Chain A
Amino acid sequence: MEQLPPDTPRIGVDEWVASVEGKRERYTGLRGAVAQRWERLPPAARVLVFAAPAAVFPFLTSQGNVFRYGLFTLVYALLALGLNIVVGFAGLLDLGYVAFFGTGAYLYAILASPQFGNHWQAEAAIPVVVIATAVVGLLVGLPSRRLLGDYLAILTLFFGQAFVVFVNNANRINFPFFGHVDLTGGSNGIANLDPFNFFGYKVDSTTKQYYLLLIAVALVLILLMFVNESRTGRAWRALREDPLAAEVMSIPVNRLKLLAFVFGAAVAGLTGAIYGTIATAALPGDYDVGLLITIYAIMILGGFGSIMGIVVGAVIVSSVPELLRSSANARPLFYGAILIAILVKLRPWRLLAAELGGLVAFGFAVHGIASAAYPRLVDGESIGSGVFARILDHWMLFPKDPVKIADVAYILMVAAIVVYPQLKPLWRAVLLPPLLYLVMFVWENLLLVHIGGATRLILLGALLVALMNVRPQGLFGTATVEIV
């Protein structure tokens, strides 16, 4: 019998028992104290813990940073909270969620822009948008009653794609009575959306938009916490864990599914309207699959069903890529992460010291050999400035024309990483320095160059795989148990 890792859910144990045992077993010391305190706080206080630093944020930094870090983080958090209702609470795999987001934005654009000459005030427009999007959610959810998990995913994916294509082409529709109506501006989208106008008070600066978003997030958070503890929330959790058993227990499964869709769509609609005013336009390209993956990443990272986890996940997923934009920030993160990983994994400190020493020596050796025999391999320069970069110049290979070599090295690196865990421990110890050197070579010469684009997503993909291996329930999720 192979040894199962300790985190593996055990067959035959249900969620409540698992979580209680887990709490008793694992939370000791400082972590235990914090966890217990957290459990005791009422929902409103929990929200305050997050809202307070967020409220102070605009005073600590420039408008550009508020926009970049603050606004987008809150938008993603809202979307993830809404998606959490559908996926995390009710267990329905919704792959077309971003279409509701887009629906909200476009509906608001129809109501408050020069497109049709409507200029509704926010207190009228927002409820209309939210309710209308909820209705759309209801319609999309209707077929969900007959479909099991994977098939529902396809249906919702279809809806998501249909939305994008529709919105891209809806400027050429000929309605029977109204004639030619340019509903969505086609691929040009609808521009010049009015900022929110609450009884004359205009939300037209970044700071005001930020606070509006913060209020919206706080409201949704509190609402969700309520629902979580309520009967509906418990019913959703039962539905998520085992639909068949829930139905047998006379839980109205179909109605709950529809309710989840409606709620999720409503939140997305609200977020869409807000985002529309931030972007001042509703453009078709903004509501496609890429955004969906980002939101899912937030939920996965934070843990399905865990509300606080989602907020934390949103902060991480939104801010970290921004921080990584410059090589000055990215380097310490990368090397720091490697260092921490080694420190944690290599137990006897002698082995750790040997590996680190070996790595340094290996680097100098390779660099020395290269300088002597193949000078073209060291003619280039490391990116960025600073002491660390200069040290790297003498330790790491920087070919003059790195593109081809780095490409090949990248493929070799991936292959090496896949093969490495299969090796015997002795080989693993010996080959660790060269492997690390290869990884750093690829980082310096290839990944750092594209740090603004492809690298972020590569790291995201690798993170997802690693996360599932280490902690499938995400940072704050509860370990679920499958009864086989």
Chain B
Amino acid sequence: MRRRRATAIAALLALSAALAVVAAAYATPERAAAPTAQTGSDAALVKCGKTRTIGFMAPVTGPAASIGIQQVHWAQYYVATYNKTHKTKFKLQTEDTQLGAPTGTAEALKGAQALAGSSSVLGVVGPAGSNEIVGVTKSLMDGGLAWVSGSSTRTSLTTDGTRRGFMFRTVPPDAIQGPTAANFILKKLKYTRVYIIDDQETYSTGLADTVQQVLKAAGATVNRDGVSQQQSDFSSLIAKIPRDTQIVYIPWQLPPKGQAFGNQMKSAGKGSIKLMGADGLYDSSFASVGSHVYDTNFPLNPKSKIIAGFKKSHGGDGEYFGAPTYAATQVVSNAIDRACAKGSTTRAAVRAAIRSTKIPAAQSLIGVSIRFNRGGDLSTLHKFGLYKSNGTAFVPISG
């Protein structure tokens, strides 16, 4: 027994020592010859052939697939229309991030590593979720890749300074949407009794916190509670909402849940209380609850030919959640074209080109020209659009 223990201990020490030596020997100097060394790819020269590759990270499958697929459609629409009218072509290397999947951000991590290691990828569109971006930041930055997100709204991502020059987004952050909604409630509707319900996801709690802050500072009575993403029986919660509440603010992500909540409010006899959603609920299903429903959304240009063309090829459905992803793809492809002017380019050059993006309003479906500020946010967009339901759809109103 003692002899076996001694041999085992000796073997254990030997093994650990061996592994440590191996690790130290091979891991310390970052050799360029080592399998796709990460620090080299920043300045690695990539030939711009006839077909250029854009990395694309989106939740193609998984719990968020219903909104992810809209982003996929819009990105593919951009690439299809571009390829029809240009001699050089683009193609998307899609990585499924499965946002909200049981394994968390693991899929996004793997996808980011795959894109960073793939030498032909020059820029990335996505990822969709703010938590995903937190997770993949290191992988993408180490690979020298810039990314343009079409749906991540957490304010701190661009303001904390750690992603400067790498992260960009074509949607306004929570810091704009929250105060828009709060000021609308306070100044336009002049309500003082508000109930805020978040859905425990980071997008929702961020907005809810911002709105709560602004309302409380103005002296309004604010009650706060949350539902879980898996919940669809709101009856007890609705019972708790005082009948003299004037408006309930629900910054959720899934329109059917907003619709169910609105319907359950009606059947509980509280249908006279106004409802307000955020851009996640901007959908006709939520609007169908009734004309007492308000919403905020990034101001898409309603007369845009791009939107009309998309609707025609997708059975009349605008799939608005994915529209900013179109803009994101446009930004990345535009930057790659400019960087590739001399036939070959580096990821660093593409990053600089994205930073200096200047897409005029006429070509952008956001309704304003696309330019970025230092943090990576749109410098041309300062407010969110406000909408009211007419019973079947949302129509814009003035704030």
Contacts and interface: CB of A to CB of B under 8 A. Distances in A.
Chain A in direct contact with chain B (Cβ < 8 angstroms) = yes
B35 A211 contact: no
Interface in A44-70: 44-45, 47-48, 51, 55, 58-59, 61-64, 66-68
Contacts of A293: 102
Interface string B96-123: 1010111111100110011011100000
Interface in A203-223: 205-208, 211-212, 214-215, 218-219, 222
A187 B19 contact: no
B38 interface: yes
Contacts of A72: 106, 110
A279 interface: yes
Given A191-B134, A207-B26, A226-B8, A51 B98 contact: no
B32 to A, nearest CB: 13
B178 to A, nearest CB: 15
A48 B16 CA distance: 11
Nearest to B62: A453
B199 to A, nearest CB: 10
A384 B371 CA distance: 39
Nearest to B16: A215
A192 B113 contact: no
A327 interface: no
Nearest to B34: A207
Interface in B299-352: none
Contacts of B134: 188-189, 191, 280-281, 283
Nearest to A451: B61
Interface residue tally on A, bucketed by range? 35 or more
Interface stretch (B201-209, B252-260, B264-272): B201-209
B16 A205 contact: no
A377 B102 CA distance: 36
A192 B133 CA distance: 11
Interface in A431-458: 450, 452-454
Contacts of A211: 19, 22-23, 27
A187 B202 contact: yes
A123 to B, nearest CB: 14
B19 A280 contact: no
B19 A55 contact: yes
Nearest to B110: A68
A146 B287 CA distance: 53
A218 B117 CA distance: 28
B15 A63 contact: no
Contacts of A62: 35-36, 117
A245 interface: no
B105 A286 contact: yes
Contacts, number: 157
B36 A44 contact: no
Contact of A66 (B30, B35, B135): B35
A371 interface: no
Contacts of A189: 131, 134, 202
A279 B36 contact: no
B30 A63 contact: no
A294 B12 contact: no
A340 B16 CA distance: 41
Contact of B8 (A44, A67, A187, A206): A44
Contact of A218 (B19, B27, B135): B19
A280 to B, nearest CB: 5
Nearest to A453: B61
Contacts of B61: 450, 452-454
B190 interface: no
B101 A63 contact: no
Contact of B102 (A205, A283, A289): A289
A67 B109 contact: yes
Contacts of B103: 286, 290-291, 294
Interface string B18-42: 0110110011001000111110000
Contacts of B106: 72, 279, 286
A287 interface: yes
A42 B202 contact: no
Interface of B: 4, 7-8, 11-12, 14-16, 19-20, 22-23, 26-27, 30, 34-38, 60-62, 65, 96, 98, 100-106, 109-110, 113-114, 116-118, 130-131, 134-135, 137-138, 154, 156, 162, 200-202, 204-206, 226
Given A51-B19, A285-B100, 8 more contacts: A42-B4, A63-B37, A63-B117, A64-B118, A189-B202, A191-B134, A279-B135, A450-B61
20 contacts: A48-B11, A63-B36, A63-B116, A64-B117, A168-B200, A169-B200, A169-B226, A188-B134, A188-B205, A205-B30, A207-B26, A208-B23, A208-B27, A215-B19, A280-B134, A280-B135, A280-B138, A453-B60, A453-B65, A453-B96
